[in-house]
Amino acid sequence: MQPFTPDHETFRKSVRNFVEKELLPHQETWEREKGFPKDVFKQLGELGFLGIAYPEELGGSGLDYWYSICFFEELVRCRMSGLAMDVMVQTEISTPIINVLGTDEQKQEFLVPAIRGDKVGALGITEPDTGSDVANIKTTAKKAGDDYVINGAKMYITNGSKADFITLSVRTGEEGHGGISLVTFPTDTKGFEVGKRLEKLGMDSSDTTLLFFENCRIPQRYVLGEENKGFYYIMQNFQGERLGAAVTCVAEAQQMIEDALAYGRERQAFGRPILSFQVWRHKFAQRMTELEAARQLTYHAADMFVKKQDCVTEISMAKLLASELANQIAYDCLQFHGGAGFMREYDISRAYRDLRLIPIGAGSSDIMREIIAKNKGF
Ligand SMILES: Cc1cc2nc3c(=O)[nH]c(=O)nc-3n(C[C@H](O)[C@H](O)[C@H](O)COP(=O)(O)OP(=O)(O)OC[C@H]3O[C@@H](n4cnc5c(N)ncnc54)[C@H](O)[C@@H]3O)c2cc1C
């Protein structure tokens, strides 16, 4: 399926233009310095890239989801998956849940400035002692008058140190999935503390931190949706996050192959370009075939998502296939570069490290297989 109209393609070009002019030139610095200025969110907001599919009355552009896909396919061309991940946390992970569940007041306080790029958002689910097992979170929010008092910690939180607001999963009720709620509140609340910035294998330009909550008091009006329904909201929200992960994996794999082919046309061994060796031509033909299959599955899942059909299985399959395949392609492309592939100055070494996260984050490959198996009835 080829879901893009000429209007999507015009939009795609404008994103590519921005990415090549305003982001790509900073790649080396922002990767080395392990972060990018918060102003980037402002720039993206001014261009309308942070509110592509959000309603116009909230400052969004009211466009269809395929424009968001174009945006992420082009954003990864900045060759900083970390930056792309931070932006995705803003647009596909921390704000959709407010758009769906938020009161008018919550939307005005958090979503509207997030769309403008004036405020940055984060989503805190994972804890030091629990990740995949979302139902087992321990951070508590106890009622005290009109407030909640939050105590606990969250681990590996993207945008953790630059977030102006956070959506947090907290235990407001019984043990297990039935006692979890979501709250969204400003990070300048007393008792909210950003822990150390975590040193990572990759995603260097991304901001990943540990967060602490010590008697962090927020008004109860900051609860999102209904109390104790948080687990279901998190599972719904995962769908956009996982789809976004599949989209970016396919786009990044495409870019790795394009880069490798360009390199292999120039690099000579035994008197000929290394791309002319049949073993490599066949390897890339095979990988391109697999990548096209992953792309089509991803677009199929996106099509179901747009049509609001039940697509949990298809999105899980797309995330599983695209993230595992992108890692295999990263391995092959690095190998194809020889020693150069091991050097940080080559994009392939960064992509190889960055992509390793995707079969782990947002629900690991094992969790995707578990969901698929359950939904298939075994
Ligand atoms: C760079 C980075 C950024 C992140 N950003 C965020 C963020 O912004 N917000 C947030 O909330 N979280 C974030 N995370 C957390 C991420 O979502 C978790 O790391 C992920 O969900 C896995 O949880 P875990 O690390 O606790 O692993 P665990 O749950 O401890 O799993 C360990 C291993 O056991 C396997 N396993 C677990 N359960 C099963 C099962 N039922 N069957 C088979 N195997 C199983 C897993 O697949 C995995 O291989 C981030 C993580 C990283 C590394």
DSSP secondary structure string for all residues of 187-256:
TTSTTEEEEEEPP-SS-TTS-EEEEEEEEEEEEGGGEESSTT-HHHHHHHHHHHHHHHHHHHHHHHHHHH
- Ligand 1 centroid – CA 185 distance (Å): 24
In this predicted structure, what is the pLDDT of residue 199? 95
19 token code pair: 């990415």
Catalytic residue among 127, 241, 252, 314: 241
Residue having the nearest C-alpha atom to atom 6 of ligand 1? 157
Structure tokens at 95: 């704000």
Ligand 1 nearest atom to the CA of residue 200, by list position: 1
Whose alpha carbon is nearest atom 35 of ligand 1? 366
Residues with CB under 6 A from ligand 1: 89, 123-126, 131-132, 156-158, 200, 203, 208, 357, 360-362, 364, 366-367, 370
Q: Which CATH architecture has domain 122-228?
A: Beta Barrel (2.40)
% of the chain with per-residue pLDDT over 90 = 99
The confidence score (pLDDT) of residue 196 equals: 83
Q: Of all atoms in ligand 1, which is nearest to the CA of residue 125?
A: 11
Q: What is the pTM of this model?
A: 0.97
The Å distance, Cα 358 to ligand 1 centre, comes to 10
Q: Which fold has domain 6-119?
A: Butyryl-Coa Dehydrogenase, subunit A; domain 1 (1.10.540)
Q: Give me ligand 1 centre to Cα 131, in Å.
A: 5
Q: Is 33 a catalytic residue?
A: no
Give the ligand 1 atom nearest the CA of 362.
Answer: 17
The confidence score (pLDDT) of residue 120 equals: 98
Ligand 1 centroid to residue 145 C-alpha, Å: 35
Domains 122-228 and 231-375 share a fold: no
Task: From 87, 132, 159, give the residue whose CB has the most ligand 1 atoms within 8 Å, as the site to mutate.
Answer: 132
Q: What's the pLDDT at 44?
A: 98
What single-letter DSSP state applies at residue 163? -
Domain boundaries, the chain: 6-119, 122-228, 231-375
Summarised one tens digit per residue, pLDDT across range 28-82 is 999 999 999 999 999 999 999 999 999 999 999 999 999 999 999 999 999 999 9
**The domain 231-375 is classified under which CATH number: 1.10.150.670, 1.20.140.10, 1.10.10.10, 3.40.50.10860?**
1.20.140.10
What was the pLDDT predicted at 235? 97
Q: Which residues of 280-301 are buried (b: 16+ CB within 10 A; e: fewer)?
A: beebbeebeeebeebbebbbbb
User: Inter-axis angle of helices 278-306 and 230-266, to 10 degrees?
Assistant: 150
Other beta carbons less than 10 A from residue 21's beta carbon: 9
| Ligand 1 atom nearest to 124, measured from its CA | 11
Q: What is the pLDDT of residue 372?
A: 98
Q: Which residue ranges in the chain fall short of pLDDT 50? A: none
